[in-house]
Amino acid sequence: MTVGAQSARRLLAVTAALVLALAAARPLSAPELEGRRRMGPVQRLLGPIASAAASVEWARYLGALDDGDVTRAYGHAARALSLDSRATAGWLTLADHFVFIRASPLEEADPEARRRWIREGFAVLRSGEDRAASPGVLARYAATIKAAFLADLPDEGLGWPGGPRALLSEAREDLERAASLGAEEVEVTLAYIEERERELAEQGR
């Protein structure tokens, strides 16, 4: 390496260190402080690199699912969420897998086992509310799944305790939480819940 190239690299390193030092010294705004609070320890340590590393883990997660190795896939998903817990899409991705794939009657015929996978999906969404950048999106999504999907399934196929009315009641609670977390278009989901409640009342259910 030439002397000129070495000097250029030293200058770049010094400049980068100075930029990082100034950034660290700058007081954080309220949104930045809240965002940092929601980060996991690994994400705080790695900074912007964490997001790229998480993308690699999600790619490996999909590859493992394609190979039929769910244990390895879940390990990659856990590492991805640890690396970039603020990425709302990650929590949605894993929750979707549990609710719509593992709990599918094509994958699991036993209603009790299906309910366990669905609850696992909701647990993922609830966990994400404490760490994701858009927690209200996760709460509203949970409400939408319950009101617009699960409440429409035949009772004998899922056997959810309390049936559709219980699911709609849970959806209302999720929606209230979503509103408190700043979710948008909450009224759209609420209108659907109210419509379904009227339909059930007319059917005597």
> What pLDDT band is residue 7 in, cutting at 50, 70 and 90?
low
The Cα-based distances of 81 to 121, 140, 143, 201 in angstroms read 14, 20, 22, 41
Distance CA 147, CA 170 (A): 9
- Cα Rg of the chain (Å, integer): 22
164-193 per-position pLDDT tens digit? 999 999 999 999 999 999 999 999 999 999
HSE toward the beta carbon, residue 68, CA cutoff 13 A: 1
Q: What is the pTM of this model?
A: 0.77
Q: What is the pLDDT of residue 19?
A: 39
Percent helix, percent strand, percent coil in the chain, to nearest 5 = 80, 0, 20
Domain boundaries, the chain: 37-86
Q: What is the pLDDT of residue 32?
A: 40
Q: What is the pLDDT of residue 67?
A: 97
Distance CA 95, CA 17 (A): 39
In the predicted model, is pLDDT for residue 43 greater than 80? no
In the predicted model, is pLDDT for residue 56 greater than 90? yes
The rounded percent of the chain whose pLDDT value lies above 90 is 70
The Cα-based distances of 159 to 87, 94, 107, 151, 167 in angstroms read 33, 23, 17, 11, 11
> What pLDDT band is residue 47 in, cutting at 50, 70 and 90?
low
